[in-house]
Amino acid sequence: MGILEHGSPPLAGSRFLDLFAGSGAVGLEAASRGAEAVLLVENDPAAVATIRKNIEHLGETGRVRLLVADASRLGPAREPFDLLVVIPPHQPPAVVRAAGLTGETGWVPVAFPTMRAPVDGVWAVGDVTALRLPNGLPMPKAAVFAQQQAEAAARDIARALGATAPEPEISGRGRCWFITGAGEAGYVEGEFLTEPAPVVQLYAPAAEHFRAMEQELAEWSAQASG
């Protein structure tokens, strides 16, 4: 939404294409901000029903159209677009699914904060896992949390092997950046494990945030290669 609000090119009068549209929220937001025509492409029956309901509810049956199709198998576009948004479905690698490690959420269920999978001798960290926040929602899939989980798992593995290591812990504190163009970035920062719900703040795009993001990236890269 940061790009819709602050980015370029401007949305007013634009033609907007949203592949794997989900609820249709992004395209509908674009329409509400002046896009002239919005095409949503989605084929999951539940998502399609949600999109239809949302279009109807918002009275956007004119400007917003739904194409029920597999967005990964579209031929050449039959009309021009100014802005394309693609958020493909997120799923664990085939090898993880084939190993039978995934649970009912489709991801690997893990114990908090040890990151032990339900199979003896297996730990999982990062995007492949399903961890629940105190309010029942899934923990965001973010590198900042993957890093905390990796450290917690390493501690637990060391302890399982009989070594002396601190108790595993995951702070749940973290932030994610979004780049809005023109040398600016914003971010969402918060405490995701607080009860009863995460406490999260949105920081509007600014040049100083972009510089801080570049600095953080440089530090992560140095850590990874060091």
Distance CA 183, CA 185 (A): 7
- Of 146, 158, 179, 206, which one interacts with ligand FAD (CB under 6 A)? 146
* Structure letter (DSSP) for residue 169: -
Question: Is residue 87 a contact point for ligand FAD (CB under 6 A)?
Answer: no
The Cβ-side half-sphere exposure at 167, using a 13 Å CA radius, reads 5
Q: Which is nearer to ligand FAD, 12 or 224 (CB)?
A: 224
CA distances from 160 to 114, 117, 157 (A): 10, 14, 5
Among 11, 144, 153, 193, binds ligand FAD (CB under 6 A): 144
Residues 6+ positions from 226 with CB-CB distance below 8 Å? none
Please identify, among the stretches 10-18, 50-58, 73-81, 137-145, the one whose residues bind ligand FAD according to the rule CB under 6 A. Answer: 137-145
Q: Which two tokens stand for residue 109?
A: 């269920």
Name residues contacting ligand FAD, limited to 166-195 (CB under 6 A).
Answer: 176-177
Instruction: Give the SS3 label for residue 146.
Output: helix
Q: Does 154 bind ligand FAD (CB under 6 A)?
A: no
Binding to ligand FAD, residues 104-123 (CB under 6 A): none
95 binds ligand FAD per the rule CB under 6 A: yes
Nearer to ligand FAD, 54 or 172 (CB): 172
Is residue 137 within 8 A of residue 129, CB to CB? The reply is no
For position 143 contacting ligand FAD by CB under 6 A, the verdict is yes
The verdict on 58 binding ligand FAD (CB under 6 A) reads no
Beta strands in the chain (DSSP E): 15-19, 37-42, 64-68, 83-86, 108-109, 129-130, 173-181, 184-191, 199-206
Nearer to ligand FAD, 56 or 208 (CB): 208
Q: Which residue is nearest to ligand FAD (CB)?
A: 126
Calculate the CA 197 to chain-centre distance.
Answer: 18
Lookup: tokens for 85: 């948004």
Q: Which stretch binds ligand FAD (CB under 6 A): 33-41, 65-73, 143-151, 161-169?
A: 143-151
Told to check if 216 binds ligand FAD by CB under 6 A, we report no
Binding site for ligand FAD (CB under 6 A): 93, 95, 126-128, 141-144, 146, 176-177
